[in-house]
């Protein structure tokens, strides 16, 4: 399979200044790595696997390694870790061809794009014209869209290389990534393969967490970037969606939709600096610098903290202490009635808008003969099938006008006032109430318990903290703060006001420098 990545319309490359201390200083023979420079040593595979996206771009641009050698090493790792189920489609031939083209440009002295040679994983609901876009659902198996998604094209123009299409929870409606469609199958956590990777962008999270790729794209409707990022020990971002119109940071064109007022693609990477790099290229903006933490105000509303696993809570308290020592001021301020408003907005908006937005996507992307009804009928996951039957019948249609025009604006006003009246820069909370839980291979999802309490719905528990900001259209990031005693990652989340994306990334980079990066999983 081939992938169109030859264009590099953005000139020059971004030199990384953050986190370079973590890269070994190595003399690299490009002959040994598939090129032709005259350095003395060779970067081995393990050193390549350890690179962040920013470091990889710099290493290729400087000639420390070739794009081809890097791509071949990562493809080999993807194949050796196929048991993780992180990919639906690998793009071996196309990725190698694109890497060779990048190396040829560098050797010829031609300008390189800002992401030249960077391998990325792309969630399989994001259109790629030279690779299938299946949504992990039988009704779209083998479907090839007519064009790349609008959010993906700038990355390819800047020289990024698609390693493959990532596994995902079927039609992005779930958090386990336990699929029943044979061509998709079960995706597994990078740190513990018996556990869920989160979802719906579970394949992207697992691939990046397992050091198969340094960065990539997911999509987020109610937490689907940040949940798998947290559970796989990486960074993830949900950019501003706001009102779903002019306040939206990324285009949704060419992405299998659930809700045009809630969906967004989001970058995922080993570091916050990496997601800032992808965000800058997608938006055509400058890459933000770390922001001093001293004097920043983080809000702690009870609604985000009243259901948290004890070990997660202890780790969050330790993170809070480190941030406070660095000068962050924590503000105990409430968001009254946020859960009640969320109950009136979440499902009515998503399950009505899916019925409106999916037919438009199918027509624009060239999915001839595919309908919402046929997708629902063929869905392999019983819970996804049931949800999409509600889409077909528009079961939430009567509730939709008030959800969108009454209750959602009330949520937005609540958050806008929260940030402005309290002078809060970001809301601070655990990304998920629990670390990853074991996979249920029979039902695909199960109940969970928090601190030995009553059984709770797994889906509702894991989206609990990410869903309010998603519904309101806020930008949010997650970054890892450590591992539990069982070796499972825990993520810390920050939500900011609509439009504060770059500031949030700047804060995240400073927090990341405080906590450091997680050790690689033992795979």
Catalytic residue among 59, 193, 201, 224: 224
Task: Determine whether 29 is an active site residue.
Answer: no
User: Tokens 């009330």 — which residue?
Assistant: 410
Q: Which two tokens stand for residue 475?
A: 């930008």
User: Exposed (0-12), middle (13-18) or buried (19+): which is 75, by Cβ within 10 Å?
Assistant: buried
DSSP string for residues in 300-332: --GGGTSS--HHHHHHHHHHHHHHHHTTPEEE-
| 224 part of the active site | yes
| Cβ(406)–Cβ(277) below 8 Å | no
Structure tokens at 454: 């009553």
Is residue 386 among the annotated active site residues?
no
Which SS3 state, helix, strand or coil, does residue 456 take? Answer: strand
Cα–Cα distance list, 512 to 273, 275, 281, 344, 505 (Å)? 9, 12, 21, 35, 10
Residue 274: its H or E element:
helix 272-283
Beta pairing class for 447-448 and 426-430: unpaired
Q: Of the candidates 482, 436, 448, which has an alpha carbon nearest to the alpha carbon of residue 317? A: 482
Dihedral through CA 35, CA 41, CA 47, CA 52, nearest 10?
-60
Give the 3-state secondary structure of residue 14: coil
Distance of CA 213 to the CA centre of its chain: 13
494 forms beta bridges with 428, 477
Whole-number Å distance between alpha carbons of 489 and 521: 10
Which position among 50, 54, 59, 123 bears the catalytic label?
123
Quick one: which of 169, 52, 165, 164 has its CA closest to 115? 52
Nearest Cα to 514, choosing from 356, 348, 360, 324? 324
Cα(196)–Cα(188) distance, integer angstroms: 5
The CA angle 394-395-401, to the nearest 5 degrees, is 75
CA torsion, ordered 12, 13, 14, 16, to nearest 10 deg? -140
Between strands 426-430 and 329-331, the pairing is unpaired
Cross-strand partners of 110: none
Closest among 522, 420, 430, 407 to 481, alpha carbons compared? 430
Of the residues 16, 54, 193, 200, only one is catalytic, namely 200
Answer yes or no: are the C-beta atoms of 117 and 63 closer than 8 Å. no
Ordered strands of the 161-166 beta sheet: 87-90, 161-166, 119-123, 215-220, 264-269, 235-238, 476-483, 489-495, 426-430, 297-299, 329-331
DSSP 3-state assignment of 83?
helix
Give the largest Cα separation in the chain, rounded.
Answer: 69
Per DSSP (E only), the strands in 42-127 are 87-90, 119-123
Active site residues: 123, 200, 224
């Amino acid at each position: 399979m081939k992938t169109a990545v030859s264009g590099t319309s953005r000139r020059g490359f971004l030199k990384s200044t953050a986190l370079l201390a973590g890269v070994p200083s190595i003399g690299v023979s490009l002959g040994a790595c598939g090129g032709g420079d005259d350095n003395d040593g060779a970067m081995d595979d393990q050193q390549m696997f350890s690179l962040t996206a920013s470091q990889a771009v710099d290493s290729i641009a400087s000639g420390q390694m070739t794009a081809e050698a890097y791509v071949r090493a990562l493809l080999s790792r993807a194949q050796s870790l196929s048991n993780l189920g992180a990919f639906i489609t690998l793009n071996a031939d196309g990725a190698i061809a694109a890497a060779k083209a990048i190396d040829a440009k560098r050797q010829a002295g031609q300008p390189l794009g800002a992401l030249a040679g960077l391998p990325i994983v792309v969630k399989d609901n994001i259109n790629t014209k030279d690779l299938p876009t299946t949504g992990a659902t039988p009704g779209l198996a083998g479907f090839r869209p007519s064009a790349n998604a609008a959010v993906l094209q700038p990355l390819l123009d800047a020289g990024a290389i698609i390693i493959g299409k990532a596994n995902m929870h079927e039609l992005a409606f779930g958090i386990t990534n336990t699929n029943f469609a044979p061509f998709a199958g079960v995706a597994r956590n990078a740190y513990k393969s018996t556990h869920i990777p989160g979802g719906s962008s579970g394949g992207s999270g697992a691939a990046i967490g397992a050091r198969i790729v340094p960065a990539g794209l997911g999509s987020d409707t109610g937490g689907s970037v940040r949940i798998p990022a947290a559970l796989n020990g990486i960074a993830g971002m949900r950019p501003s969606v706001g009102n779903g119109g002019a306040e939206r940071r990324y285009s949704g064109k060419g992405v299998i939709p659930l809700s045009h007022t809630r969906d967004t693609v989001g970058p995922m990477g080993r570091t916050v600096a990496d997601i800032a790099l992808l965000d800058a290229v997608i938006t055509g903006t400058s890459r933000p610098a770390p922001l001093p933490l001293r004097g920043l105000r983080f809000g702690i509303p009870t609604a985000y903290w009243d259901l948290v696993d004890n070990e997660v809570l202890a780790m969050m308290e330790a993170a809070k202490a480190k941030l406070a020592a660095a000068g962050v001021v924590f503000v105990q301020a409430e968001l009254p009635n946020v859960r009640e408003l969320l109950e009136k907005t979440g499902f009515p908006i998503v399950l009505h808008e899916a019925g409106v937005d999916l037919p438009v996507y199918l027509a624009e992307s060239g999915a001839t003969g595919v309908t919402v009804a046929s997708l629902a009928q063929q869905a392999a996951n019983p819970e996804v099938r049931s949800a999409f039957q509600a889409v077909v019948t528009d079961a939430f249609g009567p509730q939709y006008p008030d959800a969108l025009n009454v209750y959602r604006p009330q949520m937005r006003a609540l958050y806008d006032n929260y940030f402005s009246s309290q002078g809060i820069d970001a809301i601070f909370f655990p990304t998920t109430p629990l670390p990853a839980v074991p996979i249920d291979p029979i039902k695909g999802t199960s109940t969970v318990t928090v601190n030995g309490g009553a059984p709770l719905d797994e889906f509702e528990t894991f989206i609990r903290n990410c869903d309010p900001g998603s519904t309101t259209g806020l930008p949010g990031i997650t970054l890892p703060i450590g591992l539990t005693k069982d070796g499972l990652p825990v993520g810390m989340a920050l939500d900011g006001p609509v439009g504060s994306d770059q500031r949030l990334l700047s804060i995240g980079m400073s927090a990341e420098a405080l906590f450091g990066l997680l050790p690689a999983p033992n795979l």
